[in-house]
Amino acid sequence: MALAAGAPAVLVASILLWTGDFTPKVQWTLSILIAMTWLGFTFAVRERVIRPIQTLANLIGALHEGDFSVRGRAPRGDEVLGLAMMEVNSLGETLREQRLGAVEATALLRQVMEEIDVAVFAFDGDLRLRLVNRSGQRLLGRSGNELVGLHASKLGLAETLEKPAPRVMDIAFPGGAGRWEVRRGSFRQGGRPHELLVLSDLSRALREEELQAWKRLVRVLSHEINNSLAPIKSMAGSLRDMLGRDAPPPDFRNDLGRGLEVIAGRSEALSRFMQSYARLARLPAPKLEALDVGHWVRRVSGLETRLPVDVLDGPRVSVRADGDQLDQLLINLVGNAVDAALETGGGVRVGWGRRNGALEVWVEDDGPGLADTGNLFVPFFTTKPRGTGIGLVLSRQIAEAHGGSLTLANRRGGKGCRARLRLPL
Report, as an integer, the average pLDDT of 214-231.
66
For the chain, give percent helix, strand, coil, nearest 5: 55, 20, 25
Report, as an integer, the average pLDDT of 385-390.
52
Of 201, 234, 256, at which residue does a domain stop? Answer: 201
Rounded-to-integer distance, Cα 192 and Cα 259, Å: 83
Of 223, 254, 281, at which residue does a domain stop? Answer: 281
Q: What is the pLDDT of residues 289-324, one digit of tens each?
A: 999 999 999 998 988 888 899 999 999 999 999 888
Which range among 41-45, 253-257, 392-396 shows the weakest confidence by mean pLDDT?
A: 253-257
Same domain for 143 and 74: no
In a domain, 22, yes or no: yes
Same domain for 227 and 264: yes
In a domain, 107, yes or no: no
Q: Where are the alpha helices (DSSP H) in 116-202?
A: 134-140, 144-147, 152-155, 158-162
- pLDDT score, position 228: 65
- pLDDT score, position 146: 87
pTM of the model: 0.43
- pLDDT score, position 219: 67
Q: Which of 95-99, 176-180, 290-294 has the highest mean pLDDT?
A: 290-294
Rounded-to-integer distance, Cα 406 and Cα 125, Å: 45
In a domain, 376, yes or no: yes
8 A C-beta contact, residue 309 and residue 339: no
In a domain, 183, yes or no: yes
- pLDDT score, position 312: 93
Report, as an integer, the average pLDDT of 154-177.
81
Same domain for 298 and 273: no
Same domain for 414 and 299: yes
- pLDDT score, position 23: 86
8 A C-beta contact, residue 309 and residue 348: yes
CATH number at residue 138: 3.30.450.20
Q: How many C-beta atoms lie closer than 10 Å to residue 318's C-beta?
A: 14
In a domain, 111, yes or no: no
Average pLDDT, the chain: 81
CATH number at residue 375: 3.30.565.10
pLDDT band with cut points at 50, 70 and 90 for residue 208: low
Same domain for 385 and 262: no
In a domain, 110, yes or no: no
Report, as an integer, the average pLDDT of 334-348.
89
Same domain for 153 and 71: no
Same domain for 305 and 411: yes
φ, ψ for residue 93, nearest 5 deg = -65, -40
Q: Which domain holds residue 256?
A: 211-281
In a domain, 239, yes or no: yes
In a domain, 206, yes or no: no
- pLDDT score, position 390: 63
Which range among 51-65, 145-159, 231-245, 384-398 shows the weakest confidence by mean pLDDT?
A: 384-398
Rg (C-alpha) for the chain, rounded Å, is 44
Report, as an integer, the average pLDDT of 153-165.
84
Same domain for 399 and 358: yes
Query: Total domain count for the chain?
Result: 4
Query: With 60 as the cut, is the pLDDT of residue 388 above it?
Result: no
Rounded-to-integer distance, Cα 226 and Cα 217, Å: 14
Which range among 188-192, 298-302, 308-312, 389-393 shows the weakest confidence by mean pLDDT?
A: 389-393
Percent of the chain with pLDDT over 70: 83
Same domain for 294 and 181: no
Same domain for 188 and 267: no
Rounded-to-integer distance, Cα 310 and Cα 295, Å: 14
Same domain for 216 and 196: no
- pLDDT score, position 218: 65
Of 236, 251, 281, at which residue does a domain stop? Answer: 281
pLDDT band with cut points at 50, 70 and 90 for residue 58: confident
Q: What is the pLDDT of residues 70-96, one digit of tens each?
A: 777 765 656 677 777 788 888 888 888
Same domain for 407 and 311: yes
